[in-house]
Structure 1
């Protein structure tokens, strides 16, 4: 059996809005939106990986709050785990530093206005439900 590699994504929330990041690389994913995050390194806790990835990708200091129940398959052997997080007081505003070319804070009515990566849609649906956002027109 192939060992699974965990990728951690951030449901970064501020004032009821969710942060989405638009991929700039690799070319096959460019232009699609995702929850920011990245691969958990060997021996690293998922929470620590998320804090590190948000610092590297967005230049922010974030606090991990709670894990979103479930996991979502990505390209084998990767699986996605998502955690709610928030910016720590005094953190700079997020900026697209690595692998992204744009960021958007999405209010409840805007969640599905971006073209989410297909692999992120089920996780975003779960995040939206836990945020208490009811869209009615959830795609995917």
Structure 2
């Protein structure tokens, strides 16, 4: 059996005050109204960290260096659904240039781990948040 899957990257940005950035999916998008770690699909010509730098620039209008992105874990959807399986690679991001702002719709906010866990999230972001915040 050949399984098609899509690699996706996400960034868990954290500030010195212990708060983490979450993005609310805009209306009209899949999982609209749910909170997620910002990121997106890895293009065929990119390494995952390059994709994360591009996605954070596009979605949050910030500049991030690859050295400030630390692999933190992953989550994958099951196979056999109507669409390709997803594998989300999560990175923690400790430094960036610029003030994060939502450039593609939806909203962003800074949350404590407990607050972030309580937000409604897509299934894979629930898994990522549990693993990330459990390891703190």
Which of the five TM-score ranges fits, normalised by the shorter chain?
0.7 to 0.9
Looking at structure 1, the residues matched to 75 and 124 of structure 2 have their Cα atoms a distance apart, in angstroms, of 11
Counterparts in 2 of 1:118-129, with a 5 A limit?
A: 118-129=123-134
Q: Which runs of 5+ in 1 are unaligned?
A: 133-140
1:42: how far off? 0.4
In structure 1, which of residues 62, 69, 76 is the aligned counterpart of residue 73 of structure 2?
69
Aligned length: 128
Partner of 1:52: 54
Q: Is the 8 A contact 2:10 2:40 kept in 1?
A: yes
Structure 2 gaps of 5+ residues are none
What is the TM-score when the length of structure 2 is the normalising length?
0.83
- Shift of residue 34, structure 1, vs aligned partner: 0.4
Structure number with the higher strand fraction is 1
RMSD: 1.9
1:44–1:25: structure 2 CA closer, same or farther, 3 Å change rule? farther
Q: How does 1:92-107 map to 2 (within 5 A)?
A: 92-98=98-104, 100-107=105-112
TM-score, normalization by structure 1: 0.81
Q: For residues 78 and 25 of structure 1, do their structure 2 counterparts lie closer, same or farther at Cα, with a shift above 3 Å needed?
A: farther
